[in-house]
Every structure is written in C-alpha cells, then in structure tokens.
C-alpha cells in the first residue's frame, strides 16, 4: 500500500471568513449608532417644538393679567433687577393670580411654565439703564417652559400699557388703526 502525502491546510479560508464577518458586524454597529443618533435628534426636535408651544401658551395666559396689574410691575422688576440671575423668580401676584393656569396642555402637572418680567432699556442717556424700574410702561413678559427638561425654551414679548379710555378717533374714517380722516 502506498501512502500519499497530504498537503497541510493552513486555514486561510477561515481567516478570510472571520475578516468578512468582523467587517459586517462593525458596519452594522455603525448603522445602529447612526439610527440611534437620528432618533435622538428627531426626539429633541419634536420636544423643542412642543416646548416652544408650551412657552407661547404661557405668554397667552399671562398677557392680559400682566397688563391688568401694572401697579405690580416695579415690584416684579426689583426681584429681577441688576445683578439677578436668569431665569428670575416668578412674582407671587403672577403665579397665584386669577386666570393664570400653569398647566398649559392639560397634562395634570403642576406647572408647565414659569413667568417673569424683564425691563427693556428705557432710560434715556445720560441716565444709566435701571433694569429694576420701568419708566416707559413697557416690559418684557418672559415665559419659560419647564415641562421638557431636555429642551427648555423661553419666549419673551414686549408688553406696552397704553391705558384705557375712549378711542374717539375710531368714530370716523378707518377706525382706530387707520388714518382715513387725518389731514
């Protein structure tokens, strides 16, 4: 009987297979991490839009109440005046006021937003700016949505108190906003 000598296998096919499998696993992990990042980004965008909507609803709730309480503006501005850290504390008269509902979206939580007042630059030169006192009947109402902790948004609006009374100009022409009979 004659023995034939076999060539020893060196395992090169196994090495190529292992390299291919490792590269496929690395590619799959990159795709999964990209998808997770995309999902996180879209979630932050969605909650950012909802947080902006929440802050805007806070402005809608506060607008009329802030104008109705003009006597309390300087008190609120004094707590948020020079040297204050933002966001300022919410004034008690604004947080506990009638008609100020801080649950903007009916979620059942106690407070979806906080409100505070911030003074505009209303002092004329050479007087320095005094952020703790209003001198032109205009303040910023700032609504800060705190419902979404990842995307806290603030919206501010300049409110101007124009007083009450009759608008006699509206009796002729184009009304209050027009100038139909102004010569």
What 8-state DSSP symbol labels residue 169?
Answer: G
What domain count does the chain have?
A: 1
pLDDT value of residue 113: 84
* Maximum average pLDDT range among 3-17, 53-67, 98-112: 53-67
* Cβ(98)–Cβ(107) below 8 Å: no
Give the domain range for residue 64. Answer: 40-163
Tokens 């104008």, residue? Answer: 67
Mean local confidence (pLDDT), 76-87: 71
Q: What is the pLDDT of residues 34-69, one digit of tens each?
A: 999 999 999 888 989 988 998 888 888 888 788 888
Q: Say if 27 falls within a structural domain.
A: no
Which pLDDT band, with edges at 50, 70 and 90, does 99 fall under? very low
Through-space distance between the first and last CA atoms of the chain, rounded to whole angstroms: 128
Q: Say if 168 falls within a structural domain.
A: no
Q: Say if 153 falls within a structural domain.
A: yes
Q: Say if 176 falls within a structural domain.
A: no
- The gap from C-alpha 12 to its chain's centroid, in whole angstroms, comes to 60
Q: Say if 26 falls within a structural domain.
A: no
Q: Cβ–Cβ contacts within 10 Å for residue 60, how many?
A: 11
Q: Which of 78-92, 144-158, 163-177 has the lowest mean pLDDT?
A: 163-177
Tell me the three state secondary structure of residue 37: helix
């Amino acid at each position: 009987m004659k023995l034939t000598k076999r060539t020893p296998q060196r395992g090169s096919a196994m090495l190529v297979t292992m390299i291919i499998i490792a590269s496929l696993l690395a590619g799959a992990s990159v795709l999964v991490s990209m998808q997770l990042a995309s999902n996180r980004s879209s979630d932050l965008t969605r909650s950012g839009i909802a947080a902006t909507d929440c802050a805007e609803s806070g402005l809608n709730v506060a607008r009329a109440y802030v104008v109705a309480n003009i006597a309390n503006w300087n008190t609120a501005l004094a707590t948020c005046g020079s040297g204050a850290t933002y966001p300022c504390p919410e004034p008690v008269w604004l947080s506990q006021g009638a008609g100020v509902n801080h649950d903007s979206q009916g979620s059942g939580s106690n407070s979806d937003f906080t409100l505070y007042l911030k003074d505009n630059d209303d002092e004329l030169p050479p007087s320095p700016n005094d952020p703790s006192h209003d001198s032109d009947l205009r303040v910023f109402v700032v609504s800060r949505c705190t419902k979404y902790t990842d995307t806290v948004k603030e919206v501010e609006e300049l409110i101007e108190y124009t007083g009450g009374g009759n608008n006699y100009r509206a009796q002729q022409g184009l009304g209050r906003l027009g100038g139909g009979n102004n010569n």
